[in-house]
Structures are given as C-alpha cells and as structure tokens.
Chains A and B, each alone.
Chain A
Amino acid sequence: MLSRTAENLYWLARYVERAEYLARTIDATLRVTALPAAYIGKTNEWDSALLTAGISASFYETYQEANEQNVVEYLSFSPNNPSSIRNCIEAARLNARSVRTALTGEMWDTINSAWLELQQVWSKGAKSREELAKFLRFVQETSLRFDGSAYRTMLRNDAYWFSRLGVHLERADNTARILDVKYHVLLPEEEHVGGPLDFYQWTSILRSVSALTAYHWVYRETLKPWLIADLLILNDTLPRSLASCYGNLVRNLDQIGVAYGRQGPSQRHARGIRNRLEHSHMDDIFQHGVHEFIQEFIADNSRLGEIITKQYLL
C-alpha cells in the first residue's frame, strides 16, 4: 500500500485513541476535584491533568491559572491546543478523508458522524457540567465504535495492522504519561503511604485508564500502590498496560513483516521493549526507580514511532 495511506491510517488511529484518553482524563479529574479538599490534599489536579496530556507548557502561554474552566476548555475545545479533543477529531477526520478508500464504510461513518456531532456541540458549547459529561461520554463511545468497526469490518491486511500500531503506540504513551506524573503516589513505603489522600489519587489513576474494576478482579485486594503500578506496567491481561500494548505492537509488526517477507528495525526495537517488560519485576523496577523506568519507556516508545515512520511511512 502507499506509504502515505499507511501513515494516514496510523495517525487516524492515534488521534482517535488520544481523544478518548483526553476525555477519560477530564472525566477522572472532574471526579476527584469534586471531593472535599480534605480528601485530595493540596495538589492541583487540573495541573496534573495538563501534565499527563503533555501540554502544560503551551497551556500557560494562553492561560494564567490551571482551574477547571480553563483546563477543560483547553483540553476539549481549544483550537490553539493542537491535541485538544476537538483538534484530534478534526485531524482524525482529515486523515480519514485522505484514506477513504482504505477505510470500510462503517469506519468512515463513525469518524464522519463524530465530526458532524462535534460541529454541533462546538457551535453550542458544552455550557453545563451535564453537557460536558455527555460530550465526554460521546467521545469515548466514538473511540469504541471506531475500534469495533475496525475489528469487525476491516480486512486483516497491512491497512488493519498499521491502524492497530497507531492504537497501541498511542495507548502505551498515554498510560506511561499518567504513571510519569503520578508515580510519586505509587511509591511504596514512602512518607505518606496509605493515607486517605492517596486512595482517591489511586482510584483516579485507575479510572483514567478504565481499570478500576479490573484491579479488583486481578488482585482481589484493596488498593495498593505497587499493585496498581504492576497492573499498569506489567500485567498483560489489562488492555491498557504497557506489557499488553507491547504484546500487540510486536504481533502487528510481525504480521506486517511476514506479509512483506522481511523484518526490520521496528520489529527488533519493539521486541526489545517487550522482552524487557516480560522479564521485569515490580521489585526491581522500584529498586532502580519507577520514574527513571517510565521516562526511559516513554523515550523508547516514541523512538519506536520514529523507526516505524522511517521504515514504512516515508
């Protein structure tokens, strides 16, 4: 297939995944900030939301204060924020238009309908929290529909695999970024272990990767920070864990390699990261520093994006 087509499919999937992640982040932050101050401590949760979205610097170019109104506006609708939900959906549709011929009718319909709906919401503005909540749900549903229609209607060929690469690379990045911002509340046996403050931070993290229920099913335990870290990093049964994303990345890259009859640097690089995740234990990770581990992962993951681009998308 055309390199540009593969590139458009890959970015289309990334933008949809990112939009969903932003919606979840806003959702989780709204919940935790609705708690009385005594439960969440002094940290500014809206600031953390900006940090996990990786757009803190550009935010302060436009706004003074990271409060609910400003951050929600910036993350959801702002035309100035290149990765606002709105711009993600705009970019997703632009990519989709460029590769209409590689999409199934159902996928196009999902993206195009989301875009049409966005025009409506955008022109009216989500004025109340109820309207905002509805919009955030809609964005998450769009992502589910998009994934579902890809899964159910696409031919299992390179078009599908490149689109999956976009999903898992973006997802791994998102999970890693939450960990990067919140790692300090996950450290075991530090000064503020197990206080009520942390409990709500932990649920908030789990909620933003839709893993709160999953945690209980996997560990059958009350919330423990090191288990949360274990779930999000190493547990390959959780679809948003780093290990699970890398299992999928390796699988999809291998399928491309088999179809094209040759392996390359992206297959090797992805396998390297997956092997490291497979052979790691949380104890070692804590010992060597969660923060360092996560930062290294984020760099490795974005390096994989570059390698894929160079190998296939140019």
Chain B
Amino acid sequence: MNARLLPLAGFLLVLALLGFGIWWSGTHDLREVPSPLIGKPAPTFSLPLLDDPSKSLGSKELAGKPYLLNVFASWCVACRDEHPILMREGKRLGIRLVGFNYKDPADDARRWLAQYGNPYDDIVADLPGDVAIDFGVTGAPETFLVDADGIVRYKYISPITPQVIATELLPRIAKLQQGAK
C-alpha cells in the first residue's frame, strides 16, 4: 500500500467516529445502557469517608434502606454539568445520596465540593478504583439505585438530567419505599 494514503486512512477513521457520534446521539437514548448488575446484589464494599479517612462506610452500613450512589470526580468535566442538578434536586429524592469519589485525590475532591457545593449525605473515596471495578463503573458520572436489600435496581450512565430524575428515578424510588412499608 502507498504509505502516503495513511494520513487519509487515519482521517477516515476519525470521520467515521464523528459520523458515528452524530448517529449515536441522534438515535440512542443514553438511559438504555443495561448493566449486568441490575436485579443482582450490589458488590460488598467498605471505603473510607472522604472527610474522615479513619472512618469507613460500606454495603453493611448502608443496608436496610435504599440509597443512590453517584460516581463523581473533580477531573470529570461532565460531572460539572450534573452537579447543579444534584444540588437542586438531591434533597427531593427522599433517599440517602451517597457520593462515590472516583480515582480522585482527596484534596482535589474537597476543593471541588467547596466550590460547587456538596449535595451528598455521605461521600466515600475510592482512590485506587478497585470498588469501582466491582460496580462495573466505566467512567464518571454514573449513578446506581440500590434498594434496602442491597439489590441494584437501576443504573444511569452520563450526567443525570431533571427528566431522568422525574421519569426514571422518582417512580422507582416511590415503588421501593412502598415495598418497604
């Protein structure tokens, strides 16, 4: 093959990727990402708290009540889009909102929260990212809804929008809380 065709070939790859991007975001609903974890128990974990690494929080302490686990990091640009929505609507959810600080030096995360505000009830820190692998986290942000028995009920990849909260999360949470009563 003519080596001078290589730049063109490389560009066609990029072009295909961009074309795919248009097609994908036009036809796909970002909510339709299935997770093998749904309907199965969430991984057991125990992680240090961001504010006080000497204490830890994990599946054992969280069991008994449903909670929402939100994966975030200060280096994640998309999290900055999601954050105001959590700030505004987080309290409306009516369940514990657990922040999962993903591969993020604690100082950076704390600074980030000081700047944008802290919507979370608790924040666990997973600096090495091991627990994230158990959860099948592919990037930030991601959100998991876990019920009182520790079963993952729902997973959402990419920034949460008010619609997602209204149409996906709130009905599911209502159902979980009814079930509990």
Q: Please indicate whether A and B come from the same complex rather than being unrelated chains.
A: no
Chain B residues within CB distance 8 Å of chain A: none
Chain A residues within CB distance 8 Å of chain B: none
